[in-house]
Structure 1
Amino acid sequence: MCGIAGAWGRSAGEVAKRMAPWLMHRGHEGVGYAYISQDGVKLGPPPDDAEGALVHTRYSTSGAYGVQLQPVLAKHRDLELALVFNGTVVNYKQLADGRFDGEALVRALAREIWERGLEEGVIHVYSKIVGAASLLALTPWGLLAVRDPRGVRPLAYRHYGGGMAFASETVALGGGQELAPGLAVLYGKRLAFWKIPPGENKLCAMELVYFAHHASSMGGWLVADVRRALGRALAEVEDREFDVVAYVPETARTAAEAFAEALGKPLVDAVVKNRFAGRVFITPPHLRNPGDAFRAVPELVVGKRVALVDDSLIRGTNIRTVVRLLRDAGAREVHVRIASPPVMWPCFFGLDFPTRKELAAYKRGVEAIRAYIGADSLIYLPLERFRQILGSACYGCFTGEYPIDVDVEEAEVAQIDSRYA
């Protein structure tokens, strides 16, 4: 998972640089750029007047932590490409030589485009991918944009005065529309559109639950509206009494507001987050320290029964810390409410939990998870209700049923190897 954006046309370099801060919620390990120059494709911040430019905000799901690995360049014969992509390619070693999936992907694209032509080359590479990939690439003919054929990873576009821009999310574009799953677009010296099968709509459910910006449109929804619907549905299964509703900042706020409103309870900002700490979940493991990122406000919880809402519970790292902080601040009871079902399976499509053993729900039932996080009670949103709200989506991490056939044990090993090879 990460953020990608690109532009082609007048002031493309300036447009790309302006989009970067609006994608850092998708990755903040580093920001990388590529651009078209008179001497070909270059890495580094583009000049404002570059004809074509790419940007990548890194959240590593492959390759070493803490290293800016995209954009990546490849040259096959006389064809030179620069690429950024969002997702994970599990079988990247079968595509081409490369230290990680992005490198193998751009090398495979350069080779196949040279040998088969642009349209057929892109289709051929995607026919071999196990995983998910939405990509942008600088080519000799313009900016290539490809939405993942199953729609797992998002990609949107918008015309601007003098050119066209693409980004993982509409919030980075200041509006725009989503590319349809499996749609490939070339914009620049040539203009072309073609489809890559299967063209399904299997948007990652976790994009809507947690990862995407609440002001983005995705899957035909405003993301904030999805989270409100999840919060209201969570209130439908409530069976306890409490005094106030709190939430884990920041992405759970919208669901918590709807949950509190549905139950007629006050919402309090009892947990605050250091705005400079970044997103703990997407921080490399050796740098995650939720104790430095969160604080509790005693005046809002002392002596009270608190319903603590979070959007999801994956590793349990944050929620355990926040529950303890609320107790230390004087909360009488802490009841955890999760606006999604238990995450029980790894992700091989762009989120960094590629093994079952790192999940809080691995070999634990709800009661064992409750004890693990230290809450007085724990309720998840039921899977059936979750599906009713989101509709067609990738629910792989909740159900173990992925949009493509995946051998889980082999994929776990492959992902670990990509980290430490």
Structure 2
Amino acid sequence: MCGIGGAWGEGAGGVVRRMAPWLMHRGHEGVGYAYQRGGGVAIGEPPDDTEAALVHTRYSTSGPYGAQLQPVVAKYRDLELALVFNGTVVNYKRLGVEAPAFDGEALAKALAREMWERGVEEGVVSLYSRIVGAVSLIALTPWGILAVRDPRGIRPLAYRHYHGGVAFASEDVAMGGGEEVPPGLAILYGKRLVMWKIPPGEGRLCALEYVYFAHHASTLGGMLVQDVRRALGEALAEGEDAAIDVVTYVPETARTAASAYAAKLGLPLVEAVVKSRYAGRIFITPPHARNPPDAFRVVEELVAGRSVAVVDDSLIRGTNIKTIVRLLRDAGARAVHVRIASPPVRWPCFFGMDFQTRRELAAYGRDVEGVRAYIGADTLRYLPIEAFRRVLGPACYACFTGEYPVEIDVQAAEAEAARG
């Protein structure tokens, strides 16, 4: 998973630089740029007056942690391109590229080769027919800027026209508004303007985009993300039977769900758990840098002697919630009830999230009671999958259900996705 953006037209360099801060919730290991220079492309921060540019904010799901590996420049014969993408290519070692270091390198080199040998339209279709995983990409090519939305819509992409040019980004919030690119649509804009479809084109946006990953001010699948999170919180409140005094939440993405949950139950929402604004998003931080005890504090006056419900958007590894339960107890909470605004995550993701093995998941091999004991809470409730589906509608629920949108051998994919 990561954030991608690109622009073609007057002032494209400034456009993508302004996008970067609005994409860093999708990845903060590094920010990379590429831009058109002379007859080719260059890596580096683009000048304002360049006509075409790309930006990438990195959250690593392939290749080494802590390295800025995109944009990628690839050349095949006389065709040179620069590429950024959002997603994961599980079978990147089988795209016919010699000894690729990571999936982005294989993708860029294979795209250059396919477009040289087959032409732009047929080359893109040919490449996507071979990909196992999910890929939305933006590329600078000799003919213009190429943007392709993942054929199943698992990874998002949006566009917006601006004073004689066009911009693309993972989310419309990065551009100050825009429209979603439909699943499976490829767009070439520049010296040529053409659009074409890549089968199958069925929309299955990643459910975790709504739950956690996307910015709350973005629109995905025609729905404002914060409205979806509010509906999840209201659904989570249904059937609540614990004796709760106050509600708090894990900052920041769980706030909307927690607010709706508390309002539905007529309980006060308190800002009891606080997070350093400089800690970043711990879930997308490389493993060696995840340190929740340094990121969170609890306001003792708001929880001491009280029964506290703490709401989180999801429970994947359990890294944050274990720490927060302990901090709430240390602050004198009489009881800690954990409430999760999504179902248990029991299966790995091969489409752009960095949990590609079952063994790293808190709910793998544990029932709800086992997870409750693991995190140290008095009670634990998840949002049932049926209620989750009612709110989100058509989506990719693979990490919750094990039902992947493509046929996939989980054990083989786990082995192939493992870092060397």
Question: TM > 0.5 between the two?
Answer: yes
Q: Aligned residue for 2:305?
A: 303
What letter corresponds to residue 276 of structure 1 in structure 2?
A: Y
Aligned runs of 1:244-283 on 2, under 5 Å? 244-283=246-285
Q: C-alpha offsets along residues 219-256 of structure 1, whole Å, 9 cap, x if unaligned?
A: 11000000000000000031111100000000000000
TM superposition shift of 1:139: 0.2
Per the alignment, residue 393 of structure 2 pairs with: 391
SS of the equivalent of 1:110 reads helix
Q: What is aligned with 2:181? A: 179
Distance 2:381 2:241 in 1: 9
- Determine whether 1:10 maps to 2:7: no
Q: How does 1:314-325 map to 2 (within 5 A)?
A: 314-325=316-327
State the partner residue of 2:69.
69
Q: How much does 1:162 deviate?
A: 2.4
2:334 corresponds, among 332, 335, 341, to 332
Supply the AA of the counterpart residue of 2:180.
E
Separation of aligned partners in 1, 2:187 and 2:364: 41
Aligned AA (2:92):
Y
Residue 107 of structure 1, aligned match among 106, 109, 115: 109
Kindly report which structure 2 residues correspond to 1:399-410, keeping only aligned pairs within 5 A, or say none: 399-410=401-412
For residues 11-42 of structure 1, give each alpha carbon's deviation from its aligned partner in whole angstroms, at most 9, with x where no partner exists: 00000000000000000000000000114100
Alignment of 1:81-230 (within 5 A): 81-95=81-95, 96-97=97-98, 98-230=100-232
Per the alignment, in what secondary structure is the counterpart of residue 337 of structure 1?
Answer: strand
Distance in 1 (CA, whole Å) between partners of 2:188 and 2:291 is 43
Q: Distance in 2 between matches of 1:89 and 1:39?
A: 29
Q: Aligned partner of 1:348: which letter?
A: F
> The residue matched to 1:324 in structure 2 has which SS?
helix
Query: 1:58 is matched with which residue?
Result: 58
Please give the secondary structure, in 2, of the residue aligned with 1:207: helix
Q: Distance in 1 between matches of 2:241 and 2:90?
A: 42
Q: Distance between the aligned counterparts of 1:412 and 1:220, measured in 2?
A: 33
Task: Measure the CA separation in 2 of the matches of 1:171 and 1:297.
Answer: 32
Q: CA deviation at 1:136?
A: 0.1
Please show how residues 343-354 of structure 1 align to structure 2 within 5 Å: 343-354=345-356
SS of match in other structure, 1:186? strand
Partner of 1:357: 359
What is the rounded CA distance, in whole Å, between the counterparts of 1:189 and 1:49 in structure 2? 18
Aligned length: 418
Q: Secondary structure at the match of 1:322?
A: helix
1:70 is displaced (CA, Å) by 0.3
Alpha-carbon distance between aligned partners in 2 of 1:313 and 1:149, rounded to the nearest angstrom = 28
| Paired position in structure 2 for 1:232 | 234
Please give the secondary structure, in 2, of the residue aligned with 1:128: coil
Q: What is the rounded CA distance, in whole Å, between the counterparts of 1:333 and 1:15 in structure 2?
A: 49
d(CA) in 1 for partners of 2:290 and 2:416?
A: 24
Could you tell me how far apart the structure 2 residues matched to 1:405 and 1:2 are? Answer: 24
CA shift for structure 1 position 388: 1.0
Secondary structure at 1:321 match in 2: helix
Deviations 1:135-172 (A, max 9, x none): 00000011000000000000000001121000000110
CA deviation map 1:244-271 (0-9, x unaligned): 0000000000000000000000000000
Any gaps of 5 or more consecutive residues in structure 1? Answer: none
CA shift for structure 1 position 369: 0.4
Q: Distance in 2 between matches of 1:344 and 1:386?
A: 15
1:326-379 deviations in Å (ceiling 9; x for gaps)? 111111100000000000000000000000000000100000100100000000
Matches of 1:37 and 1:367, distance apart in 2: 58
Question: How far apart in 2 are the matches of 1:2 and 1:155?
Answer: 12
Letter of the 1:221 counterpart: M
Q: Which runs of 5+ in 2 are unaligned?
A: none
Note the aligned Cα RMSD (angstroms).
0.6
- The residue matched to 1:206 in structure 2 has which SS? helix
Separation (CA, whole Å) in 1 of partners of 2:190 and 2:300: 57
